[in-house]
Chain A
Amino acid sequence: MNTQLLPAVPAASSSGRPELSSTKRPARGWFARQYRRRMLRADLLTVIAWASVAAAVALWLADGGATNISSPAALFTAAGIVAGLAGMDLVLLMLLLAARIPFIDRTIGHDRALEFHGKLGKPSLYLLLAHGLLLVIGYGMAEGLDPVSESINLWVQVPDMWLAFVSMALFIAVVVTSLVAVRRRFPYEFWYVVHLLTYAAVATSIPHQFSVGGLFAAGTWQRWYWLAICIYTGSALVYFRILEPVLATARHQLTVARVESVAPGVVNIVMRGRKLDQLAGTGGRFFIWRFLAPGMWWHPHPFSLSAEPVFTGPDSQGTLRVTVRNLGNGSAQLLRLRKGTKVALEGPYGLLSTAARTTNKVVMIGAGIGITPLRALLETTPFAPGEATVLLRGHTEGELYLGSEILDLCQARGVRLFHLTGPRSRTKSPWLPEDAVRNGYSLTSYVPDVADADVYVCGPAAWAANVIADAGKAGAPEEQIHHERFNW
């Protein structure tokens, strides 16, 4: 069969902004403007986040909360209420950061969104703990009871309060199990299921917020505001984490077409589907794949495309491809995927893409299986001949996966390409091969103008950290260095 391969066309944008329609580099300053727009959005997100916390406290102030503090008991009660309001607001922010909202994703990226999500974990737990303790002390003082009796009192006498106590226990369980040390000790799936308890924790905390606190009593505008932000957060989660992936899966109807061996333990999974034009231009971004076969469907795999979609028929039918290395943990099964297996997808997510570009020059540095997302990015991200450099790192030539495809792309687009193989350096720049360092080579030997370039780094975390350190030393500012972790 001889099929005509049609060139990939990036997805049409409905945002109304000028979008790149080809791999031809746009006029000077385009990427700088793109970066400024992105930073403006980032600032907007910062303002929204802080303002929402302030608004939570302002709700209480507007109700005259601060003017009613006339006794130590009232002071404890007031502090408890404020802690609860701020704590719940942080919890909602955490949920929004994890909701994969496209605006957040294309502004700071999935990776950094989850980093902020993690950073808010402890503060919100402390605020919620303080909320419980301060209120039990405050109420207890007002009624002449010790905090323990007051807690029992609240549990028994006040409707919905027992749920709030359950919620507190769940929050503690979630945050404790999410701490990195604990995360390492348990398998990922266990951690993931415990994390799902967050939803139970938030759900059980909501009734008492509306029924016990006088602030959100029926008929107050504060009640409407609080309901609105709770409902918005819930809807965003349901839409972007459940509904959108289901719709995307139904839209593209992906099935496994074939599994090809690339190298020992590394395969290309080629999938057939339709409306693939909507997935074009996503090089570097990742999707979460689920292969709907017995024993596999529940295992989510975060992989980037390793090539642009190839179109073979009407309705943008065609194939797309991911390249997978057997890293255990369920990916061994992928080597034996059957043809015709249905595939569910979520995404694309992340900012390791053209959307992150800030300048005209590009450097891509990949190691091992991390080379493959860069292969797709190299195919589409715009630059003029001579403006891009690719560095591939592996122990052997065989570990430079898709190396020959990358060579072809580099020849076609006028890109400098370096293969860096051999055992790693034990002195400085441990991301480079030992003999390169011994011969006096550093990052700037390969890319003299790295300080003016967007540097995409993809590979194992420790290795990538070393690359990023060297790129920083060579003068590339933080905003030009693009790296994402995929191990979420």
Chain B
Amino acid sequence: MKLRGTVAAALASAGILLAGWQTGTQVNGISTVASSTTATGTTGATGSGSSGAGSSGAGSSGAAGSSGPTGSSSTSGSSGSSGTSGSSSSSGSGSSSGSGTYKGNTVQTRFGPVQVQITVANGKITDVTALQLTNTDGKSIQISNRAAPLLRSKVLAAQSANVQTVSGATITSNAYLTSLQAAIDAANL
């Protein structure tokens, strides 16, 4: 009788764990198809996150093109191993390689959306502002608050999105840099 209970319990537990494992790998296995719809005359490239990344929340499709002057471009959102993926389509206000502010697209992560805006003066990035940062829970807010200033100073120094991620904030960093790249593209830097 005891044996029967133990065996049944072990089987049930193993089944539940296996189901959990399956669900978990499927969540991460789904490559996010990030489609972006853009206004006419722009190239819309769609791509799928190639590196087995995290959330299934597709990036927000950039709705831009039609409103402002042209110059909305789409980049596919393949990101690092850390779970960000999403389409990057961004809209910039102002003409190419000029001055002004440019918003990157919103990148969804499993800890919340990330979006940055850059300020460009004479072809140089003079400021990076985080419009949205990972904020689903207390821990990710703490991470965001720590990572954002570090990333900003790195980007201002490098003048590109090609900077090291902040350790312990990989997901936030990758999303931040993806959005940043879209903003840079929009500014045609």
Contact = CB atoms under 8 A, between A and B. Distances in A.
Interface in B97-118: 110-111
Contact of A51 (B6, B12, B24): B12
Given A54-B13, A58-B20, A142-B167, A46 B6 contact: yes
Contacts of B146: 143
User: Can you list the 10 inter-chain pairs with the closest CB atoms, starting with the nearest?
Assistant: A58-B20, A142-B168, A61-B20, A43-B5, A54-B13, A50-B9, A62-B23, A46-B5, A158-B138, A217-B136
Contacts of B14: 54
A66 B23 CA distance: 11
Given A51-B12, A51-B13, A60 B20 contact: yes
Interface in A64-79: 64-68, 70, 73
A5 interface: no
A116 to B, nearest CB: 13
Contacts of B19: 58, 62
A42 B13 contact: no
B27 A62 contact: yes
Interface string B85-105: 000000000000000000000
Interface stretch (A93-101, A206-214, A321-329): A206-214
B9 A39 contact: no
Contact of B16 (A58, A65, A68, A159): A58
Interface in B166-183: 167-169
Interface in B17-52: 17, 19-21, 23-25, 27-28
A160 B138 contact: yes
A214 B140 CA distance: 8
Contacts of A51: 9, 12-13, 16
A200 interface: no
Interface in A29-85: 39, 42-43, 46-47, 49-51, 53-55, 57-68, 70, 73
B159 interface: no
A73 B168 contact: yes
Given A66-B21, A68-B83, A217-B136, 20 more contacts: A43-B1, A43-B5, A49-B9, A50-B9, A50-B12, A51-B13, A54-B13, A54-B20, A57-B20, A58-B20, A61-B24, A64-B27, A64-B28, A67-B28, A68-B54, A139-B168, A142-B168, A153-B142, A157-B142, A158-B139
Contacts, number: 116
Contacts of B141: 158
Interface string B106-135: 000011000000000000000000000000
A61 B24 CA distance: 5
5 contacts: A42-B1, A46-B8, A54-B12, A214-B136, A217-B136
B153 to A, nearest CB: 16
Given A50-B10, A158-B142, A214 B137 contact: yes
A265 interface: no
B81 A70 contact: yes
Interface residues of A, number: 45
B20 A50 contact: no
Contacts of A213: 137, 139
Contacts of A53: 13
A218 interface: yes
A144 interface: yes
A137 interface: no
A161 interface: yes
B24 A144 contact: no
B139 A214 contact: yes
A68 B110 CA distance: 12
B137 A217 contact: yes
Contacts of B24: 61-67
Contacts of A54: 12-14, 16-17, 20
Contacts of B16: 51, 54-55, 58
A59 B20 contact: yes
